[in-house]
Structure 1
Amino acid sequence: MDLEKRRVEIAALNLANIHATAPADKLPYAHQKVVAEPLSVNFNQALSSASHTVLTRKVQVIGSDAPPRLAHDPGHPHANPQGFVAYSRIDQATEMVTVSTAMRAYEANIAVASSARAMAAKALELGSQS
């Protein structure tokens, strides 16, 4: 769930900086992306009551090295001598899809946690009846 929350935060940051510019001698905001390594866990080990290990994964936020998008606007205060302004290379549609998929994954994780909690409560209820 933390991973999906982080993906939403980074996508929101990218969207907030979609129209950000920088002075001609500097680069604009660099598009960022969340990268996580996959978990390789033995299912039975993860479910065993004797195992109290916390499942963690390495999560990184990496910046894009794509060149900035140049727009001709000679009157802009950040325009270079040729009249071009450098904007971040951020695609709004891609960022919105990232937000949408991360939100759905977060909701699915909440549903799984709720189901697990309900099953554990039912198991305790059944155990106390015998």
Structure 2
Amino acid sequence: MSLYRVFDIAGTGMSAQSVRLNTTASNVANADSVSSSVETTYRARHPVFAAELSKAAAHQESAGVRVVGIVESEKPLTPEYAPNHPMADDNGFIYKSNVNVIEEMTNMVSANRSYQTNVRVADMAKQMLNQTLRLGQS
């Protein structure tokens, strides 16, 4: 594998973790949202990743990670009886998001560390390429 492919792989990893950070930030921002119906209540979203190893072997393209899609959590929403709330339904209930802020913060830390790891991989590949070029100067 060429060192140049390492940049592609690290780049796809950084891109995937960026999507993960953005969806996590969206989840945290909407954690306290409420609605008057189950259908319109915000649900936690999570990206789905896939490895592109077989594509690389068959077509001589770079391996990496791609975002297949973003799925909504199927955890139940939290209904709360609040008849005086302006968004209460006809039965007096509001529906709270299913976002768990602690899980989302853990996701954010994990995505941040994965992003940093990919940056380090790209930096190490750059250093190796620079050292290889210096060998040719001698």
TM-score norm. by structure 2 comes to: 0.78
Q: Deviations over 1:40-84 (max 9, x none)?
A: 2699x7xxxxx5x34353421111233321122221111123322
Amino acid at match of 1:71: E
Match of 2:28 in 1: 15
Amino acid at match of 2:95: A
Contact kept in structure 2, 1:37 and 1:59, CA below 8 Å: yes
4+ runs of 1 displaced by more than 4 Å? none
Q: How does 1:83-102 map to 2 (within 5 A)?
A: 83-102=92-111
Query: Greater strand percent: which structure?
Result: 2
What's the C-alpha RMSD, in Å, of the aligned pairs?
Answer: 2.3
Query: Greater helix percent: which structure?
Result: 2
SS across alignment from 1:37: strand
Q: Which consecutive residues of structure 1, in runs of 5 or more, have no partner in the other structure? A: 46-50
Contact kept in structure 2, 1:5 and 1:106, CA below 8 Å: yes
The 3 A distance-change label for structure 1 pair 110 and 128 is same
TM-aligned CA deviation for residue 17 of structure 1: 0.6
Distance 2:110 2:75 in 1: 24
Instruction: Please state if 1:29 is matched with 2:37.
Output: no
Q: Which consecutive residues of structure 2, in runs of 5 or more, have no partner in the other structure? A: 1-13
TM-score norm. by structure 1 comes to: 0.82
